[in-house]
């Protein structure tokens, strides 16, 4: 009997550790209503609630059209993260002056707190550096008044560069990326997100 109770307690402990180590929570309402979490930027406790409307940008910057939005996981989007973060993605098409339309994506994933979200930004930087080494460039830009990471990397001869703009806002990991090779347009979409 003691061995059975010990086994159950050990199993529960492992489950609690696994959930806690993941760093992120389900994309559904977690019951906190934005009352807990840590914002490492200003010392206050902040969480930003998340639902599918978070990736719908209104008003849109010039040249963009919202094509679709839906659920995603960070692993399905190949962000270079080891954990399966869940969230939402808006798919935007960009075209100006009758140019061929190109997609850009606004993805938002909910994390346990700001520290976890910032850790995932660093994990994306580390993954990029491991894959591309000195062929890519990582720099800091400003999006909506706070620092964001810009990852610039070569892709192919027909698509000379690809941009990822990544930042943490409260408990959220935000990524703007896609085959769109116009950095000004990517920054405009990121700023229009208000995140």
User: What per-residue confidence (pLDDT) applies to 190?
Assistant: 98
Q: Is residue 31 part of a domain?
A: yes
Selection from 102, 105, 115 nearest residue 77 by Cα? 105
Predicted local confidence at residue 84, as pLDDT: 79
| Residues 107-166 pLDDT 10s | 999 999 999 999 999 999 998 888 887 777 899 999 999 999 999 987 766 667 889 999
pLDDT for 79 beyond 60: yes
Ranges 41-50, 151-160, 165-174, most confident: 165-174
Block residue for tokens 């639902």: 51
What is the pLDDT at residue 166?
Answer: 97
Residue 5 in any domain: the answer is: no
Q: What is the CATH number of the domain that holds 75?
A: 3.40.1000.10
Residue 131 placed within a domain: yes
Among 150, 70, 154, CA closest to 105: 70
CA distances (Å), 108 to each of 85, 154, 162, in order? Answer: 10, 24, 19
Q: Is residue 172 part of a domain?
A: yes
Contact by Cβ (8 Å): 56, 66: yes
**What integer pLDDT is reported at residue 45 of this predicted model?**
53
Q: Does residue 19 fall inside a structural domain?
A: no
Question: Is residue 1 a part of any domain in this protein?
Answer: no
Does residue 2 sit within a domain? no
Number of domains in the chain: 1
3-state secondary structure (DSSP) of residue 10: helix
Burial of 13 (C-beta count, 10 Å sphere; 0-12/13-18/19+): exposed
Is the separation of the CB atoms in 192 and 63 below 8 Å? Answer: no
Residue range(s) defining the domain that contains residue 79: 25-192
Mean pLDDT of 163-170: 95
Residue 116 DSSP SS3: helix
Q: Residue 10 above 90 pLDDT?
A: no
pLDDT 10s digits, 57-75: 999 999 999 999 999 988 7
| Structure-model confidence comparison of residues 164 and 13, the more confident one | 164
| 12 belongs to a structural domain | no
């Amino acid at each position: 009997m003691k061995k059975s109770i010990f086994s159950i307690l050990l199993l529960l402990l492992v489950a609690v550790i696994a959930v806690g180590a993941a760093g992120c929570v389900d994309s559904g309402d977690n019951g906190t209503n934005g009352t807990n979490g840590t914002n490492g930027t200003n010392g206050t406790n902040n969480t930003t609630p998340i639902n599918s409307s978070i990736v719908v940008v209104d008003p849109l910057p010039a040249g963009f059209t919202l094509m679709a939005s839906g659920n995603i996981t960070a692993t399905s989007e190949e962000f270079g993260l080891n954990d399966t973060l869940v969230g939402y993605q808006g798919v935007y098409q960009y075209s100006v002056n009758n140019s061929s339309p190109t997609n850009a994506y606004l993805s938002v994933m909910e994390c346990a707190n700001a520290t976890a979200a910032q850790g995932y930004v660093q994990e994306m930087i580390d993954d990029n550096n491991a894959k591309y080494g000195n062929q890519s460039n990582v720099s800091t830009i400003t999006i909506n008044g706070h620092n964001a990471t810009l990852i610039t990397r070569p892709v192919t001869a027909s698509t000379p560069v690809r941009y990822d703009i990544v930042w943490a806002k409260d408990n959220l990991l935000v990524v703007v990326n896609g085959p769109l090779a116009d950095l000004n347009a990517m920054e405009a979409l990121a700023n229009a997100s208000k995140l």
